[in-house]
Chain A
Amino acid sequence: MSTRHRLRLCHGGMEGRALATFEMFLKHVENFDCELVEEAGADIAVIDTDNYLGPYLVQAHRMLFPKRPMIHVSLKGELARDALSVWIEKPVSLEKFAHGLAQALAAGRAPQHDAKASGSGTDKEAAGRRASAIVQDQADTRLSNLYVGSLPDLDPADAGMMERAYYQPGKYLQGIVEEACRIAESTDAAANIVHGEERIMTIRADGQAYETSLDRRSLRSLGLIPLSKADFRVVTVNTGADANRAWRAIAPLRWELALWAARGRIPTGVPIRAPIRLVRWPNLTRLGLPPDAMRIAGLWASQARSMPETATLLGIPQRHVFAFFSACRSIAAVHCEAVPVAPPTPATAAPEAAPAPKRRGLFNRILGKLLGNQRADTAQDHP
């Protein structure tokens, strides 16, 4: 008897009965002991791409896990595949599936895909700089990928370089939802966001709530990648039928769509040297929490600081500041003040930036303690 490989698989595009069938199917695959796991810990992703969401699921998964072998399962195999992806044609037999797994494993071992690696170096640097917050960095390994991307620190004096810090919310689901909210409010009618024949979500007439039948993973896939606007329409609908919908508050959605779209960047048009003030504290226990959000909020609540200054003062990567800013801006929790005429004083020279060493030590230890015990929570996907 040959030795069996243990393989951790994550799935996409399957739910309900399809997923239950797939789980049973996995028990019988030859040569492999397959186990379905959370996305973060998988060796191979298996994505059913026949649904209209297929292309989005594939692209978003690739964005989050650039080095992971992926199996597309579909009728026609028409989706573009990269070097790390293989296609299994439906109907999927045990034999075809085992063969596909072996192919995917081989693709994963091939050296060429290393060119795709991104970000890990800068994340390591950041962790080094923040040796005092080791626990937090560990807790954020996943979140930093999801919410803050891997943009390295940029020189604010270099306009060309700073271009990389910007993104256009309008090109993402964030912008489409914002537009749908505007339309709903201005027409006082509920608005549907539609892709082809499929309804993605409905925005309530007051623009303050939404309803969707998409699961979180699908929403996230749509939220992470730039969309072709022509594929989506916003149409107002008769409000009479909406009374019984399962409405959910729009703010946490707008917040998270902004985090997904921004991934550590800021919306086009925001002056990089503008001092930022916190207008009100977001309800941070019930929102997706990007790294260092608390400390940035604490700083901006007491003093207006530009984003690069904030990063320097707190000793954190700029992308953490950019991510938090973009999220706050999506719910109008921050205000950009006028850009000062004279160049700002270097953050390091600010007198209030020098805390008593003893106190710094204390806060490190308390935070280490608080974060240490919630590490598991932080690493989880938000509900």
Chain B
Amino acid sequence: MSQYKIIFTGPVGAGKTTAIAALSDIAPVSTDAKATDMTRDRKEKTTVAMDYGAMRLEDGGTVHLYGTPGQERFDFMWEILTEGGIGLVLLIDNARENPFSDLRFYMEAFGKFIRSTAVVVGVSRFDLKDDPTIEAYNHRLEAMGFPNVPVFEVDARDRRDISLLVEALLSVIDPVASA
């Protein structure tokens, strides 16, 4: 049976766990723990190992949705999680201190994976802070050597937004095949 894997990543609180739950047909598995030290003032719970969800396809195939933990000290997990993935969904929290440095950090950390697969960027918490703009992200990515990456404003709690993000990822991987 066909098995595919899409990876969600991004900083603490960007909405990875929420996004995976929005798409998943099974009760998502999340290894959230009470946030301590550096994340505590931002949110109550944070993912410590990973998120997992799955979209069941009609023919019995499965698309596995993996979320990396947002805290950088868990980055040893990333290489393992991306193994065999078909693409990356990068969620950036626009309300954080410096979203562009988050963007650079993740684009570089996953650079090898991105260059051999595909990436889309969802900018979350735009409702809380609408600066930088989506166009500024477009320019920044271009300057970083990643031209023409889809960047969409998303609310991770909105299934339609996350669906469109994944649809864009599939269209980047192969527009001709994706319908």
By a beta-carbon cutoff of 8 Å, the part of chain A in contact with chain B is: 130, 132-133, 136, 278, 280-281, 283-286, 289, 292, 294-299, 301-302, 313-316, 352-353, 355-356, 358-371, 373-374, 377
Q: Is the CB of B163 within 8 A of A299?
A: no
Which residue of chain B has its CB nearest to the CB of A356? B177
Q: Which residues of A contact B170 (CB under 8 A)?
A: 294, 298, 363, 366-367
B177 partner, pick from A130, A297, A360, beta carbons under 8 A: A360
Does chain A have a CB within 8 A of B72? no
Q: Is the CB of A298 within 8 A of B175?
A: yes
A294 partner, pick from B4, B142, B154, B164, beta carbons under 8 A: B164
User: Which residues of B137-179 are within 8 A (CB) of A?
Assistant: 138, 142, 148-154, 159-161, 163-168, 170-179
Q: A364-B179, A369-B55 are in contact. Are A281 and B167 (CB under 8 A)?
A: no
Q: Which residues of B contact A374 (CB under 8 A)?
A: 159-160, 163
Q: Is the CB of B177 within 8 A of A298?
A: no
By a beta-carbon cutoff of 8 Å, the part of chain B in contact with chain A is: 2, 4, 23, 55, 57-59, 61, 63, 134-135, 138, 142, 148-154, 159-161, 163-168, 170-179
Q: A280-B148, A283-B151, A314-B179 are in contact. Are A370 and B163 (CB under 8 A)?
A: yes
Q: A281-B148, A365-B57, A365-B59 are in contact. Are A297 and B163 (CB under 8 A)?
A: no
A-B pairs under 8 A by CB, number: 129
A sample of 28 inter-chain contacts (CB < 8 A) reads A133-B179, A278-B148, A281-B152, A283-B152, A285-B153, A286-B153, A294-B178, A295-B176, A296-B175, A298-B171, A299-B175, A301-B148, A314-B175, A316-B179, A352-B176, A362-B2, A362-B61, A365-B57, A365-B59, A366-B57, A366-B166, A366-B170, A367-B178, A368-B58, A369-B57, A370-B23, A373-B159, A377-B160
Report whether over half of chain A's contact residues are helix, strand or loop; otherwise say mixed.
helix
Q: Which residues of B contact A352 (CB under 8 A)?
A: 176
In the complex, what's the smallest C-beta–C-beta distance from A223 to chain B, in angstroms? 23
Residue among A294, A313, A377 with most chain B CB within 10 A: A294
In the complex, what's the smallest C-beta–C-beta distance from A91 to chain B, in angstroms? 44
Given contacts A362-B57, A370-B167, 8 further A-B contacts (CB under 8 A): A283-B151, A285-B154, A286-B152, A294-B164, A295-B171, A295-B176, A302-B148, A363-B173
Q: A280-B148, A281-B168, A366-B55 are in contact. Are A295 and B161 (CB under 8 A)?
A: no
Q: Which residues of A contact B2 (CB under 8 A)?
A: 358, 361-362
Which residue of chain A has its CB nearest to the CB of B2? A362
The 5 tightest CB contacts between A and B, nearest first, are: A298-B171, A298-B175, A355-B177, A299-B175, A365-B57
Considering the chains assembled together, what is the distance between the CA atoms of A295 and B149 in angstroms?
Answer: 14
B172 partner, pick from A296, A301, A358, A365, beta carbons under 8 A: A301
Q: A283-B151, A362-B61 are in contact. Are A353 and B176 (CB under 8 A)?
A: yes
A298 partner, pick from B59, B153, B163, B172, beta carbons under 8 A: B172
Q: Which residues of A contact B159 (CB under 8 A)?
A: 373-374
Considering the chains assembled together, what is the distance between the CA atoms of A295 and B44 in angstroms?
Answer: 39
Which residue of chain A has its CB nearest to the CB of B172? A298
Considering the chains assembled together, what is the distance between the CA atoms of A315 and B165 in angstroms?
Answer: 22
Q: Which residues of A contact B58 (CB under 8 A)?
A: 365, 368-369
Which residue of chain A has its CB nearest to the CB of B121? A281
Residue among A285, A299, A374 with most chain B CB within 10 A: A285
Considering the chains assembled together, what is the distance between the CA atoms of A280 and B176 in angstroms?
Answer: 19
Q: Which residues of B contact A289 (CB under 8 A)?
A: 164
Considering the chains assembled together, what is the distance between the CA atoms of A296 and B4 in angstroms?
Answer: 23
A285 partner, pick from B138, B161, B179, beta carbons under 8 A: B161
Q: Which residues of A contact B57 (CB under 8 A)?
A: 362, 365-366, 368-369
Q: Which residues of B contact A361 (CB under 8 A)?
A: 2, 59
Which residue of chain A has its CB nearest to the CB of B163? A370
Q: Which residues of B contact A358 (CB under 8 A)?
A: 2
Residue among B61, B134, B164, B179 with most chain A CB within 10 A: B179
Q: Which residues of B contact A356 (CB under 8 A)?
A: 177
Q: Which residues of A contact B152 (CB under 8 A)?
A: 281, 283-286
Q: Which residues of B contact A286 (CB under 8 A)?
A: 152-153
Q: Is the CB of B178 within 8 A of A365?
A: no
Q: Is the CB of B63 within 8 A of A366?
A: yes
Residue among A296, A299, A366, A371 with most chain B CB within 10 A: A366
Considering the chains assembled together, what is the distance between the CA atoms of A136 and B165 in angstroms?
Answer: 16
Q: Which residues of B contact A363 (CB under 8 A)?
A: 170, 173-174, 177-179
Considering the chains assembled together, what is the distance between the CA atoms of A358 and B165 in angstroms?
Answer: 22
Q: A360-B177, A363-B178 are in contact. Are A285 and B164 (CB under 8 A)?
A: yes
Which residue of chain B has its CB nearest to the CB of A360? B177
Considering the chains assembled together, what is the distance between the CA atoms of A334 and B120 in angstroms?
Answer: 19
Considering the chains assembled together, what is the distance between the CA atoms of A166 and B141 in angstroms?
Answer: 35
Q: Is the CB of B175 within 8 A of A302?
A: yes
Considering the chains assembled together, what is the distance between the CA atoms of A359 and B175 in angstroms?
Answer: 11
Q: Is the CB of B167 within 8 A of A355?
A: no
Which residue of chain B has its CB nearest to the CB of A279? B148
Q: Is the CB of A130 within 8 A of B163?
A: no
In the complex, what's the smallest C-beta–C-beta distance from B168 to chain A, in angstroms? 6
Considering the chains assembled together, what is the distance between the CA atoms of A375 and B72 in angstroms?
Answer: 38
Q: A286-B153, A298-B172, A373-B159 are in contact. Are A359 and B167 (CB under 8 A)?
A: no
